[in-house]
Structure formats: structure tokens, C-alpha cells
């Protein structure tokens, strides 16, 4: 376990929460090696069509990027999940990091996430970020 990483994440989290809780959460994140969470908002508009298309690609072929949206009128702390396919034509807003997790995501840093597309009657997506 990398103590420096625990301190780095813990100090970032402590800016927005109780210091003790921040370091407990940082330690848990580093011990697990990261975090996996759902992408919210994938049921809106044509995002289901995009998910069905993404399901045809392996996770290694999908590029996922997290983009903070401080100008977002609904939630200024919003973090958008932008996706594209290797050798594709740009990125598409697939959805958002769950509201309660944006502080943790920002504290982890800018590691590029792995996107996993879930198949079924209702398509969904999950992000996996490594610490």
C-alpha cells in the first residue's frame, strides 16, 4: 500500500469533509485499488443507443474521460463522463458521476477511467478508476 497516495487523497478529501473520515475513506480507496461506480443519466435522450453501440467494443477500445462542469446550472460540482471509441471522431457525453461521489473522484485525481458497458433490457455503464 502506498502511504503517500493515502495522504494525497486524504488531504484532498479533508478540504470538503471531516479530516478523520477523509483519511478513512482514502485508506479504503487505496486498499481496494480504486473505485467502481455507475454512470448516472444514461437513460436520457439517445444515450441508450450510444450504450448499445459501445457494448460491441472491448473496454480497451473505449476511451472514457471525466470532465468537471463548473458551469452546469443544475449542479456546479457535476463531473461528466465523456466517451468515444478508439480512432473515433471525438467524445460524447454519456452521463455523469453520481452526485455524492464527485468529491471522491476529484480527490483521486485525473486517472483515466475504464468504462464497462452493461447489457440487458436497460443498458447501463460503470466506471472503474484505479488509485
DSSP state of 61: G
CATH number of 33-130: 3.30.70
Rg (CA), the chain: 15
Looking at residue 111, its pLDDT comes to: 63
Instruction: Identify the pLDDT of residue 120.
Output: 62
Percentage of residues of the chain with pLDDT beyond 70 = 95
Q: Which three cell numbers stand for residue 89?
A: 471522431
Q: Is 56 helix (H, G, I), strand (E, B) or coil?
A: coil
Higher pLDDT, 114 or 97: 97
Does residue 18 carry a pLDDT above 90? Answer: yes
The domains of the chain are located at: 1-32, 33-130
* pLDDT per residue as tens digits for the range 29-51: 888 888 888 899 888 878 888 88
User: pLDDT band at residue 78, thresholds of 50, 70 and 90?
Assistant: very high
Contact indicator for 111, 65 with CB cutoff of 8 Å? no
Share of the chain above pLDDT 90, in %: 15
C-alpha cell at 31: 486498499
Amino acid at each position: 500500500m502506498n502511504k503517500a497516495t493515502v495522504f494525497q487523497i486524504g488531504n484532498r478529501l479533508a478540504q470538503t469533509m471531516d479530516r478523520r473520515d477523509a483519511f478513512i475513506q482514502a485508506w479504503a480507496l487505496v486498499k481496494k485499488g480504486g473505485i467502481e461506480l455507475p454512470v448516472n443519466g444514461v437513460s436520457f435522450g439517445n444515450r441508450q443507443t450510444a450504450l448499445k453501440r459501445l457494448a460491441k467494443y472491448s473496454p480497451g477500445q473505449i476511451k472514457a474521460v471525466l470532465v468537471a462542469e463548473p458551469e452546469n446550472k443544475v449542479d456546479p460540482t457535476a463531473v461528466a463522463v465523456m466517451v468515444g471509441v478508439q480512432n473515433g471522431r471525438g467524445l460524447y457525453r454519456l452521463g455523469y458521476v453520481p452526485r455524492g461521489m464527485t468529491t471522491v473522484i476529484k480527490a483521486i485525481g485525473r486517472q483515466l477511467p475504464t468504462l464497462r458497458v452493461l447489457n440487458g433490457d436497460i443498458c447501463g455503464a460503470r466506471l472503474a478508476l484505479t488509485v
